[in-house]
A and B are shown apart, each in its own frame.
Chain A
Amino acid sequence: MKLRSFTIAARCGLVVVAAATAFAQSGNDEVHALQVRPNVYMLVGAGGNITALVGADGVLLVDTGLARNADKVLAAIRKLSDKPVMYIVNTHFHADHTGGNEKIGATGSFPTGGNVAGDLADVGKGAEIFAHENVLNRMSAAKSGVPVAAQPTETYHTEDLRLSPTFHFGEAVQLIHIPSAHTDGDSLVYFRRADVIATGDIFTPDGYPFIDLESGGNVNGVIAGLNKILDIAFPDFRLEGGTMIVPGHGRLCDIADVAYYRDMVTIVRDRVQDQIKKGKTLEQIKAAKLTLDYDPRYGTVPGSTDRFIEAIYKSLTQKK
């Protein structure tokens, strides 16, 4: 039992390390805010990107970065608003996106009332944390080591979850579940009025996608997620601007950037599929250098190319 618990903890740690390696986290961890809309900001440098919706009564965050950067994230938020963090949305469970949940969430509060507020003294304290149900399942697993205060408080198991504009600073926030993509609990977060999509790690334009197979990820889910973003997003003149896309890691993007990335992932998937049909083994496929044309752009982190090819191969050959 102890061995099993060590294995699970080690696996969780490996996922964080792999994710951090895959996306080449900056060493200095300075957190910067980039204004995307009058009320929406992208915070970079905390681990995974964070999207901040700033309202008159409080702040909604999509993801919270690494735990070690929580104070820096809070400092960056304080420059945008003196209101509490009322809501957190997690795009998936990895620690570079949920690590700040506990500390940042503890500084916040969310509105509640009626009988509930009278019956429970601590209700309304701390930010409300939204995520897909599978995020809670993974973070609350006995051996995950994630404290209860960092776990989602509100989950959904359907195709989407729509957060009421009444409470969310006039913004209609839609969580859209993409099954089996980067993990099995991914959500796109669509700010419908601001016209901004936070993608989590389904879209990481700085490198090949990191597909967490052990947590239910699959390359076809990543492609489905990218196509879903293209379905929702609407470009402005000449395929530029319009819906703005905050990726899980990397720079601010728009629909054209997602299209380039979707093309790349689809083309590499097709090449691996072709090799599988020809009876090639994983090692033969890795040796074939099928991503030579994309490696200088997306495969600059050592090992990321092989990891990507392996994830595609296993995605396409695993028994359903």
Chain B
Amino acid sequence: MRRLIRRWAVSVSLLAAQAALAQVDFSGEWAPRFHEDQPERVPGPELGDYLGLPINEAARMRANTWSASMMTLPEWQCRPHSADYIWRGPSPVRISQEVNPLTRQVTAIHAEWLRSIDRPIYLDGRPHPPDYAAHTWAGFSTAKWEGDMLTIYTTHLKEGYIRRNGMARSDKATLVEHWMRHGEFLTVVTIVTDPVYLTEPFIRSTDYQLDLHQQIPPYPCEMVQEVERPKGDVPHILPGENTFLNEFPAKHGLPAAAAMGGAETMYPEYRKKLKTMPKASPEAAKQ
């Protein structure tokens, strides 16, 4: 009987070793590449630009009433990007592996960006926490190998954003990622599903390049009094009173309705509809 168990254990170990051979090592220093969506990702998106976002009415109102001054509140000054958005930010990332010294299996992968926090991604089969557990900026991530591709499932995210102009992503959202390495290039596909603010999954891809000389320094943050305001005051714009929303479509010669996004603005067929829609008036934007 013992011999049988030993054989079984050896077989399992060999299978595990084969699975390990199929894995790709993502370890290293990776620098973001901005050939894709550079204006949105580095200087930042324009106000009222919701193009290509599969959002609902609630998300649109949330962004239309958002004031950037919100970020001056002490409670928000040190907030990092969440796990889904951080790939889009101007932050390099360090990826490392956690290895069980006995089995030499990779039990977790860690991703740590310049402007965010360490994000563990577990490969040891542990379950996700119950729904009453705390949410974090990184969320709780588990992963599995699909050939050379690492597929990650993340829950327990704090509220974040899918665009840095007030376009909220709720704490009910989940995230699926696919990490793919081709030599010195890393491509990450993120798929955000949000029952609160999205009508369809929101899919993006982002590229990073291996950078052997990169160092990620500490990035401390202190909360300070940036603006004098009455205690408890929360900056926001009343519904219907945002005077900046027309600037983006007017500047780019777009219909105002198109700038308000929605799932149909993601698809190529929308170009035909665009031609039939009136463009935003530059005069209206000046008012």
Contacts and interface: CB of A to CB of B under 8 A. Distances in A.
Interface of A: 32, 34, 42, 44, 223-224, 227, 230, 235, 237-241, 244, 250-257, 259-260, 262-263, 266-267, 270-271, 274, 288, 290, 292-297
B80 A267 contact: no
A32 B134 contact: no
B232 A270 contact: no
Interface in B75-93: 75-76, 78-80
Given A224-B232, A240-B117, A290-B239, A296 B58 contact: yes
Interface in B209-241: 221, 231-234, 236, 238-239
Contact of B132 (A32, A235, A292, A294): A32
Contacts of B233: 266
B234 A252 contact: no
Nearest to B76: A259
Contacts of B142: none
Contacts, number: 96
- Pick the 9 closest A-B CB pairs, nearest first: A259-B75, A293-B61, A293-B62, A266-B234, A252-B134, A296-B196, A251-B132, A44-B132, A238-B80
B135 A257 contact: yes
Nearest to A244: B134
Contacts of B135: 251, 253, 257
A295 B231 CA distance: 26
Contact of A294 (B58, B78, B79, B172): B58
A94 B115 CA distance: 44
B36 interface: no
Given A32-B130, A34-B133, A296-B56, A227 B232 contact: yes
A256 B80 CA distance: 11
A270 B238 contact: yes
B158 A257 contact: yes
Interface string B235-252: 010110000000000000
A214 B264 CA distance: 47
Contacts of B232: 223-224, 227, 266
Contacts of A223: 232
B198 to A, nearest CB: 10
Given A239-B78, A260-B158, A295-B58, 6 more contacts: A44-B132, A238-B117, A239-B76, A256-B158, A263-B234, A294-B62
Contact of A254 (B65, B134, B236): B134
B251 to A, nearest CB: 25
B137 interface: yes
B277 to A, nearest CB: 24
Interface residues on B, range: 35 or more
Nearest to B138: A240
Interface in B55-79: 56-59, 61-62, 65, 70, 73, 75-76, 78-79
A238 B158 contact: no
B265 interface: no
B28 to A, nearest CB: 24
B75 A267 contact: no
Nearest to A36: B134
B282 interface: no
Nearest to B115: A238
B283 interface: no
| B62, B116, B137 interface centre (most CB from chain A within 10 Å) | B62
Nearest to B197: A296
A271 B133 contact: no
Given A240-B117, A252-B134, A271 B197 contact: no
Contacts of A252: 132-134
B136 interface: yes
Interface string B98-117: 00000000000000000011
A256 B197 CA distance: 20
A241 B131 CA distance: 17
A238 B79 contact: yes
Interface string B44-61: 000000000000111101
Contacts of B136: 240-241
A251 B131 contact: yes
B103 to A, nearest CB: 28
B116 A292 contact: no
B23 to A, nearest CB: 30
Contact of B65 (A244, A260, A267): A267
B159 interface: yes
B234 A251 contact: no
Nearest to A252: B134
| B58, B132, B232, B238 interface centre (most CB from chain A within 10 Å) | B132
B210 to A, nearest CB: 26
Interface string B194-206: 0111000000000
A34 B53 CA distance: 37
